Amino acid sequence: MNRFPLRRAAATAFMAAAVLALAAAASLATGPYAIRPSTLVQTLLGSHAGTMAAQVLFTIRLPRLAGACIGGFALAIAGLVFQALLRNPLASEYTLGVSSGAALGAVGAALLHLRSPLATPVAAFVGAFLTIAIVLLLARARLAFETNAAIMIGVIFTALANAALSLVLSVLSPYELQAFFFWFMGSFAEAEWPTLLPAGVVVLVLSAVVYALSWKLNAVAVDEQFAAQVGVNVELVKMILLVAASVLTAVVVSIAGTVGFVGLVVPHMARLAVGVDHRLLIPVTALIGAALCVAADLLARTLLAPHELPVGVVTAFIGVPVFVALMRRPER
């Protein structure tokens, strides 16, 4: 019989889904306008149309919840892909500079006053893809320790991109500053249905593409030469997955700015639970990522209410200790 840990993966996915459901329910009910559970359920089922509760739910909290779900789902998968392709547990869209590159692209589009609804996500993707291309090309030029070099160059590129963003922010008026600030630390507060719906479709389609390649990704995560030996077209698989992970990152950046540590930490949590088979890891990672982002957004809204924290601050405060703890444990 198949010895892959299917049961453990199913149990972990169930737990992650349960945490996601609880955090989602709390997220919808909690806020300056509290909604009782019974009212919440009835409003979601279509009663109370036109009431304050319906207004708050459908125009503010549900889009925000959907944004956090999409964001966590996409960032976790992107991080997993980067780690597997580079065979480096420190790789993620954040440490490789892809998030910062995407934010730089999005800010560039805003500064140029590009009005098209596609301008921000496309500019974010261009920034993300150019960043990963430059980082990998520079890393390849070093030949030895290519994957470690990619992380080092990514960290340096992140510092450069953040300096460029700081430069932009420092010359803006206070009014403009408010609008640009969230590119730095991330927030799902600006999430709106017109951008969320296409973002959700793109994330689902790309997640399906990544999953379809998870068989090949297993071999690539061992070693590229090994993967070629067992019949994987390594260059093609790498290119498709790098584009997919870059687009996933860009989609999240275009709706929420840079949200760090999700793509770095969540794949490790999932690996600890289900092992290293990407056919199981991808769905579990995505669910944990969504649960983490929804919970982090809830904390960001409520911890210092009525003040709101950037969600990136919360994911950093959760992510760093979790990462340190995971690194001290042997991996399955």
Partner 1 sequence: MIELRDVAVRYGGTPVVRDVSFRTERGAFVGLVGANGSGKTSLLKVIARLFPPAAGVVWIAGREAASYTRSELARLVAGVWQRVPLSFGFTVRQLVLLGRTPHLPPLRWETRADLEIAEEAMEETQVSHLAERPATQLSAGELQRVFIATALAQQSPILLLDEPTSFLDLKQAARLSALLDRLHGRGVTILCASHDLALLRRHASSVVLLAEGRLDCTGRPEALLAPAVLQRAFGIGAEEWYG
Site string for partner 1, 266-295 (x = CB under 8 A): -----x---xxx-x----------------
Instruction: Decide: is 223 part of the binding site for partner 1 (CB under 8 A).
Output: yes
Spatial distance between the Cα atoms of 29 and 263, rounded to a whole number of angstroms: 28
Phi, psi for 13 (deg, rounded to 5): -65, -40
**Interactions with partner 1, residue window 194-213 (CB under 8 A):** 212
Asked if 312 and 255 count as a contact pair (C-beta separation under 8 A), the reply is no
Residue from 14, 33, 193, 226 touching partner 1 (CB under 8 A): that is: 226
Spatial distance between the Cα atoms of 312 and 259, rounded to a whole number of angstroms: 5
Residue from 105, 200, 202, 216 touching partner 1 (CB under 8 A): that is: 216
Asked if 255 and 190 count as a contact pair (C-beta separation under 8 A), the reply is yes
Residue 150 beta carbon to partner 1: minimum distance, rounded to whole angstroms: 13
Instruction: Decide: is 64 part of the binding site for partner 1 (CB under 8 A).
Output: no
**Site stretch for partner 1 (CB under 8 A), options 34-42, 51-59, 66-74, 223-231:** 223-231
Phi, psi for 306 (deg, rounded to 5): -85, 0
- 12: number of Cβ within 10 Å: 22
Instruction: Decide: is 229 part of the binding site for partner 1 (CB under 8 A).
Output: yes
Residue from 120, 218, 249, 258 touching partner 1 (CB under 8 A): that is: 218
Residue 168 beta carbon to partner 1: minimum distance, rounded to whole angstroms: 37
Residue 225 beta carbon to partner 1: minimum distance, rounded to whole angstroms: 6
Alpha carbons within 13 angstroms on the beta-carbon side of residue 233 total: 6
Instruction: Decide: is 219 part of the binding site for partner 1 (CB under 8 A).
Output: yes
CA end-to-end span of the chain, whole Å? 20
Site string for partner 1, 65-104 (x = CB under 8 A): -------------------x--xxx---------------
Spatial distance between the Cα atoms of 151 and 13, rounded to a whole number of angstroms: 30
Q: How many residues does the chain have?
A: 332
Site string for partner 1, 137-176 (x = CB under 8 A): ----------x-----------------------------
Distances (CA, A) of 300 to 186, 291, 305: 11, 14, 9
223 or 305, CB closer to partner 1? 223
**Interactions with partner 1, residue window 302-331 (CB under 8 A):** 330-331
Spatial distance between the Cα atoms of 173 and 99, rounded to a whole number of angstroms: 25
SS3 169: helix
**What does the binding site for partner 1 look like in residue numbers (CB under 8 A)?**
1-4, 84, 87-89, 147, 212, 215-216, 218-219, 221-223, 225-226, 228-233, 271, 275-277, 279, 330-332
